[in-house]
Each structure stands twice: as structure tokens, then as C-alpha cells.
A = this chain, B = another copy of it.
Amino acid sequence: MRDFTYGNPTRILFGRGQIEQLAREVPAGARVALLTGAGSIRNNGVYDQVKAALGERLVSEFWNIEPNPDVLTVVRAVTQIRADRVDFLLAVGGGSVVDTAKAAAGLALTEGDAWTILSKGARFTAVLPLGVVLTLPGTGSEANQAAAIGNRATSQKIVFLNPGCFPRFAVLDPLTTYSLPPRQVGNGVVDAFVHVLEQYLTFPVGGALQDRLAEAILATLLEFGPLTLEKPDDYEARANVMWAATLALSGLIGAGVPQDWTTHNLGHELTALFGLDHARSLAAVLPSVLEVRREQKQQKLLQYGARIFGIRDGDETARASAAIARTAAFFEQMGLPTRLSAYGIGEEAIPRVIDQLKAGRRLRMGERLDVTLEHARAMLTRAL
């Protein structure tokens, strides 16, 4: 096991009707910015619950945060936060809303050009306190310090980490997820699943407990992900998926083990260039990333195959490939195609992705920093 530092200060308020806890969790007298998406929370009752819980507090509403949020949206939020002298941010939605709120929370108290600050490590002067009401499980952003922000003008997408961006609390009420469209459900489950795999499918370092915790989350997503599509109002399925997605990227399973974010690196470029849903970009490239790196990841692939899918027959190469194939089949079962062509992306896209990686100085990726642009080209070609 490698040395590590682990801590996660976000308080989780989980279960039916927990939104009413906002009355206690948001400081009395706070001037609140409520950040949210295009309006689904108006239709499913979440908006009314939030407003009721906030009571007499002043609320500045910021609507229409888009999927894969753009830095211009963040800048608009910052302008409103400053104008309304907001001192507490409440993100109500999924990962895009939470990530926008994290970026705005830091930029509101930091002078300078937004994109420059975010893309150079997000060293904020200070960060406004932030709470979350999660309505779309998947990204794990509700209980970590990371956020992903895009820049449509330059076709870029960056991820930043700042310990000030851990939400103070996250309300997770599985009932709020019942009305999600199947596409968002599938995206969320696959995003969480890939988060686990990128902290798990590397090479052994004696992190036996971390492996088993990762496998616990994978098995849970495999068991309940499909069930949320079949029976959208199955509380047990919704609750297990929601809690699994949070723990998938809370820092717990990645503490003390190598990590490989190659799939996310490639996926972010595909989203920035072609507007692909984040999870769909991952589903399209992960199987090919694993196949191209099958030999380097063989030991963990065999363990994954045996413990998660019961794969024990055939030689090692066949078993490792079978584990990858089962993973792709699961993504397809969740409604996500696992080929770039299914998203209308062809061979001509590959040099553009490579150029973007080069421009972003992503010349070495993976758990050993030995995934080169040539490997990336092979992965994308295989994923066509």
C-alpha cells in the first residue's frame, strides 16, 4: 500500500425528505445563491421543497446551467453572486451544477481572468461556502474537491481540485431521482463505474482493502444500475446507486493506490470537441483503453474478472479480454454505445483529439505515465 493522506469533510444527509434539513444546514441569515439547471426541479417538486426549507433567507436564483458547463456560465454566475452580495452557494442538480457552483465559489472571491485562474490550478484567494442538493447521481462532485469546466471558445475542458471546494453538506434524497430520463440514469451509473475502474484497474501495490472496497461499489452498480432502468421507482435500487456514485469518487477507494485517468483524459477532449455527454465519451473509449493496456493491467484485470464477473475459464489473455467485454456489455445494457462511430465520430476526429492532448501538454498519461500520444491514437482507432 502506498502512503496517503485522506480526508473528506462533506456531511451526507441521505434519504427521504432530507431536503428539509436545509433549514438547519444553511446558516440562518445567509444570503443564498441557488444554482440549478434548465428547470427540471420545477417539475419534480424539488424547487418547492428547497424554497420551503430556506424559509425567509434571501435567495438569488441562477438558472439554466448547461451540461458540461462553460466558463462563460461560471462568469455570469460570479457576476450575479457579487452583485447580490451572496455568502452561501446552494447547488441543486447534478454534476454540472455542482461544478459550476464550485468554480463560482472560488472565483467570486478571487480577482483575475476566470479561465486563466481555473486552468492554472484554481488557486483561489478564498472560497464561498457551498452546499448541494443532488438530483442526478454520477459524477461524485457532491462530496469531493474536484470540478470540470469547459471552454467552448477554445474547445477545452479542464478539471481542477481545491480543498476549499468540498461542499459543507450534500443532501441525497433518492426520491428526487425517480423522474430522471433513462439517458441521464445510464450516464450516471456508467460515470460512477468508470470512476471506480480508473482507481482500480492499474497494478497491484498491496492495497487489498482498497481493491475490495472498489469491488463493493462495482458490484453494487452492476446489481442496481439496470434495475433503476427497469423499475424507475425502486427505492432500494435508487438509494444504492446514489450512495455508490458518491463513494466512487469521494477519495476513499483511491487513497493509497495508483490511479489511471487516461479514459477521462481522452473523454474530456471528445466532449470539448464534439459535445459528447461526459459518460458517453467514457463508455466509447474505456474498453479500447483497457485492451491497448491489457498486458500492463493484466493482474488487476484477472482479479476484476474473477471477483466481479466470475470469469475463471480460459488463458490469462482470454480472461482479461472477457472482463473488458463484460464491462462494455454492461455499458450497452445501461444504454450507452461503446463505439465512437455510434456517436457519429469517425477517423478524422483522431488527429484533432491528439492535437488537443498535445496542446494541453498531456504527453504522458496513465498510472505509470507511460501512455503516450501513440497509445492514445491506438486507443481511439480501436474505439471507432
Contact = CB atoms under 8 A, between A and B. Distances in A.
Interface in A4-54: 4-18
Contacts of A7: 9-12, 169
A8 B224 CA distance: 26
A255 B209 contact: no
Contact of A256 (B8, B14, B207): B14
Interface stretch (A60-68, A130-138, A211-219, A346-354): A211-219
A220 interface: yes
A216 B8 CA distance: 20
Nearest to A215: B216
Contacts of A219: 212
Given A216-B213, A216-B215, A239 B206 contact: yes
Contacts of A240: 1, 206-209
Given A7-B10, A236-B1, A240-B1, A216 B209 contact: yes
Contacts of A224: 208
A17 B243 CA distance: 34
Contact of A243 (B11, B16, B256): B256
A67 B360 CA distance: 57
Nearest to A18: B3
B14 A4 contact: yes
A203 to B, nearest CB: 14
A120 interface: no
Q: Specify the main secondary structure of chain A where it touches its partner.
A: mixed
Size bracket, chain A contacts: 35 or more
A247 interface: yes
Interface in A142-192: 169
Contact of A4 (B9, B15, B169): B15
A209 B209 CA distance: 15
Contacts of A361: none
A244 interface: yes
Contacts of A256: 14-15, 239, 243
Contacts of A10: 7
A223 interface: yes
A44 B315 CA distance: 48
Contacts of A4: 12, 14-15
In the complex, which of the residues A169, A224, A235, A243 has the most CB atoms of chain B within 10 Å of its own CB atom?
A: A243
Contacts of A9: 7, 9
Nearest to A8: B8
Contacts of A13: 5
Interface of A: 1-18, 169, 206-209, 212-213, 215-217, 219-220, 223-224, 235-236, 239-240, 243-244, 247, 252, 255-256
Given A3-B15, A5-B14, A7-B10, 4 more contacts: A12-B255, A14-B255, A208-B224, A209-B243
